Amino acid sequence: MSLLNQLFNRGVFGAKCKTCLSLAISRIKLLQNKRDLQLKHMRKEIAQFLQAGQEPIARIRVEHIIREQNIWAAYEILELFCEFVLARVPILESQKECPSELREAVASIIFAAPRCSDVPDLLQIKNLFSTKYGKEFVTAASELRPDSSVNRAIIEKLSVSAPSGEIRLKVLKEIAQEHNVEWDSSSTEAEFSRKHEDLLAGSKQACAEAAVSQAIIGQASIKPMPSNGAKPILLANAKRASQHQQAPSPVSKAALLTSSEIEPSAKNCIPGSVSDIKTETTSRPSDVLERARAAIASADCAIAAARAAAELVNVKFGSMKLEGTSS
């Protein structure tokens, strides 16, 4: 009975494999003809965009053309592998293990099956190989394990990674030359050669600018200290002192006047550069650094003016106190 089952299963495998391979070859040919027409139309549109000066659109559309070209090339290789395996189905039936000369073709078909949704027959072929050679063999080819024997061209053509700038520029030049379009590729070359910063991880320049702005805010928020080591005389302290006086003295008025005169001068000395730095962190690095330096200089100027004003208040307060004691 076991011998009869083996013969029956062998015949079923061979018949199903031949049917699926034949259907896959026919479907791949139809898809290639369809994609060929689509590629011609897409390349013509790219040429029109280049001629109209709409290079940004052409740079985006060319990636889709490259993707379609890679799939078309992968289908061409798969068609050859399917024809190769179809001609040697009797060898697959007669041997329990996959023959070494068919290993690359079988592994490539298994790898491409889930990545070529337009050809569902490849999935059926993959299931047949899984039944005959085991899930471990199919998993090794699907996951590209060492010694999986998957064709390198199939791996590259079915890759989902974005094409490099050199490849995109090459295809654009080929399209321009094919449709006789006079196109200056200097701006596109500069765009492709420029290294774009990873904004998801955070910009180093933006972090540095934020640190500078925080330092400026910290310097601007420091209370000015007089050079003689005395406590700073603020407007609120002067008002409290004047309220505790029994009679309004000229000293408190002088302190109020002086501090009220200092306050607008200090405000005028510090422009809105700190807020400008926060809003301009995404601008060019050179402009941001210049604004940061100007803000630091303004903050230093404000601190120096506040210290001078505090010293002036102390001097006036001391002179008025001396006059009061002498009288």
- What is the residue extent of each domain of the chain? 3-165
What pLDDT does 14 receive? 87
Within 8 A by CB and 6+ apart from 230, the residues are 314
- Residue 221 has which token pair? 């928020």
Q: Which long-range contacts link 264-272 to residues 24+ away (Cβ below 8 Å)?
A: 265/305, 265/309, 266/302, 266/305, 266/306, 266/309, 269/298, 269/301, 269/302, 269/305, 270/220, 270/298, 270/299, 270/301, 270/302, 271/298
What pLDDT does 158 receive? 93
Cβ pair 92, 137 in contact under 8 A: no
What pLDDT does 4 receive? 42
| DSSP label at residue 114 | G
The domain made up of 3-165 has a fold known as: Ferritin (1.20.1260)
pLDDT in single tens digits along all 327 residues of the chain: 344 444 445 568 889 999 999 999 999 999 999 999 999 999 999 999 998 888 889 989 999 999 999 999 999 999 999 999 999 999 999 888 999 999 999 999 999 999 999 999 999 999 999 999 999 999 999 999 988 899 999 999 999 888 888 899 999 999 999 998 888 878 887 877 776 555 555 555 555 566 656 655 555 554 444 444 444 443 444 444 444 444 444 334 333 334 444 444 434 444 444 444 444 444 455 676 778 788 888 888 888 888 888 887 777 666 676 666 665
Within 8 A by CB and 6+ apart from 114, the residues are 123, 126, 142
Cβ pair 50, 172 in contact under 8 A: yes
Cα–Cα distance, 114 to 53 (Å, whole number): 40
Cβ pair 106, 27 in contact under 8 A: no
Cα–Cα distance, 55 to 184 (Å, whole number): 10
Cα–Cα distance, 292 to 310 (Å, whole number): 27
pTM recorded for the entire structure: 0.57
Report which residue type is found at 20.
Answer: C
Within 8 A by CB and 6+ apart from 147, the residues are 140
